[in-house]
A and B are shown apart, each in its own frame.
Chain A
């Protein structure tokens, strides 16, 4: 059974709120408690890693909407993150450092890019779509690299984290962490609602059988375009947070390797589950932290692990957990 067949085979189960909320509730609880752990163990960098996980989880959720629910394999998703980050950086370079301006601008720029490139991308399908999204991502990367006044290849330091209505509320790492937490929670709830809504159903239907949807009366491309723009906007949000977190923006945020890593995060957790996007981001970044500490050329191991996961562990971590649970209950 291919990956697509696996995700397509996920049944529309009857709604069981309690059971279904257990996993995400636990994840969010763990995230909420992390600052406590950081304070207890006096490991401030945990806040940093935790924030980073949440930031990428937001981007991964957006990507899961496209890949897992829309069947649109976008290999240029990092561009939206980068655009959001650069919005913050460029505004900051010109003395505008307030989130009330920077956040809407970041999201708007990303959505605009998504809308324009989406017009072209969505005229293609399958392999072409993957490659054209990849190419547009590269385009964004090269534009950013050539912006000499904004650091070019080397990137740009952001003077300080964004203020909110003039107040330096995000200055403390813990405050910023909780801000990112709220953003992630909001993103997750939005995605959950979207997927179950009328709009989400059309998107999922198009993934299952686009011809059928057309003959029922849906202009599939229009819905996919809206989804693409929404995902872009969420990516922009992620970029806004990333720029604030690291206080630095760089073209590397939009590299195609970064886009690839985002897809990996989604697949790793379990594509088409939303929960998997968060789990995948956490797992990926943890592995990155841990492995890079162990071995210098850790990507050799990581690359091979990736290949093995694809070949043998379909359904990602959530799929593995499910199979493990079933095997365990039979033992």
Chain B
């Protein structure tokens, strides 16, 4: 385990963390402000990727494809909201879980119908392709650095938005007590739509940005959704700050855990049992982390203060 390898994995962990944050941010706001369990959020991420591929195929320019895909993802999200989600806001969580589960099934397979089941790819934009040399000749893909940078920029922008603007104040208030906000005369429906739309775009953006690195296939949103759920549970529902901290934490723990579990275990046991137990323990790590956090703080690390729900 060299220090450069460690650096590479830390960067990878940050990249995963930033990605998780983009997805978790929208999810936690929707839970916090609207008390709506949207399991279908991962599908927005998947759609972002697919739309990026589709538009790129049409226009041949990444930036344009990104913008078009963002708009299309937003439009699609709003359509889903209009058709399905809107009717679920007042329903109890069980109904929301089942319905959004149905949406996942529907879209995972609809995507298969439209684009086929084979994984698709998207080339990294020319300007950002290639690698950068970290210390002593270890190369690292520029695009991954772009993802980290854009994610951090968005996090900063979100922080500013939520803490320094009027809309942000309404969102924070809504995450604490939506009924009160509504009673104060704020158009809660419009607030819901803004929150939802924003979250959708963030998830879509994440999908677009990750598309050049991974294979775009049906169901790609499922596993990352679970990770995002762990993020917001640890971070505290309704809290952007919590989502940020938890996302980076999970990204790092998961990545470093997977890379170095076997090495770490080998310090304690023989190479053969370490190789067997390593992957198993690595996959358990973030859930054990979640269990510990929830045992100590059942409402997460940064619960939106004074939540009445």
Q: Is A in direct contact with B (CB under 8 Å) within the complex?
A: yes
Give me the interface of A with B, judged by CB distance under 8 Å: 2-5, 67, 73, 75, 117, 119-120, 123-124, 126-128, 130-132, 134-136, 138-139, 142-143, 145-149, 256-257, 260, 263-264, 267, 271, 297, 299-300, 302-307, 309-311
Q: Is the CB of B290 within 8 A of A307?
A: no
Q: List 6 A-B contacts (CB under 8 A).
A: A3-B94, A4-B94, A128-B237, A131-B229, A300-B109, A303-B105
Contact with A along B84-111 (1 / 0, CB 8 A): 1001101111110111011111111110
The answer to whether A120 touches B294 (Cβ under 8 A) is: yes
Inside 8 A of B91's CB, which chain A residues have their CB? 2-3, 310
Task: State whether the Cβ of B189 lies closer than 8 Å to any Cβ in chain A.
Answer: no
On whether the beta carbons of B233 and A135 are closer than 8 Å, the reply is yes
Residues of A within 8 Å of B99, CB to CB, are 306-307, 310-311
Binds A, one of B14-22, B65-73, B276-284: B276-284
Would you call A2 and B106 a contact (CB within 8 A)? no
Q: CB within 8 Å of A: which residues of B? A: 31, 35, 37, 84, 87-88, 90-95, 97-99, 101-110, 112-113, 222, 226, 229-230, 232-233, 237, 276, 279-280, 282-284, 287-288, 290-291, 294-295, 298-300, 309
Main secondary structure, interface of A, reads helix
Most buried by B among A131, A145, A257, A309: A131
Q: Assuming A3-B94, A297-B113, A299-B109, is B298 touching A310 (CB within 8 A)? A: no
Whether A304 and B94, one on each chain, are in contact in the complex, defined by CB atoms closer than 8 angstroms, is no
Q: Are A127 and B84 in contact (CB under 8 A)?
A: no
Residues of A within 8 A of B37 (CB): 127, 130
Q: Which residue of A lies closest to B287 (CB)?
A: A139
Measured in the bound complex, the distance between the Cα atoms of B288 and A103 in whole Å is 28
Q: Are A134 and B226 in contact (CB under 8 A)?
A: yes
The interface residues of chain A lying within 8 Å CB-to-CB of B276 are 148-149
Q: A124-B298, A134-B226 are in contact. Are A303 and B102 (CB under 8 A)?
A: yes
- Inter-subunit contact A128/B298 (CB<8 Å): yes
Asked if B237 and A146 sit within 8 Å, CB to CB, the answer is no
Are A132 and B233 within 8 A (Cβ)?
yes
CA of A95 to CA of B282, assembled, Å: 29
Closest to B106 in A: A303
Other-chain residue from B97, B284, B291, B299 in contact with A143 (beta carbon distance below 8 A): B284
Give the CA-CA distance A305 to B99 in the complex, in Å: 9
Q: Which of B31, B101, B283, B295 contacts A146 (CB 8 A)?
A: B283
Closest to A298 in B: B109
* Other-chain contact of B31, A127, A136, A260 (Cβ < 8 Å): A127
A303 and B291 form a contact (CB under 8 A): no
Q: Which residues of A contact B299 (CB under 8 A)?
A: 128
Chain A positions within 8 Å of B94 at CB level: 3-4, 67, 73, 263, 267, 271
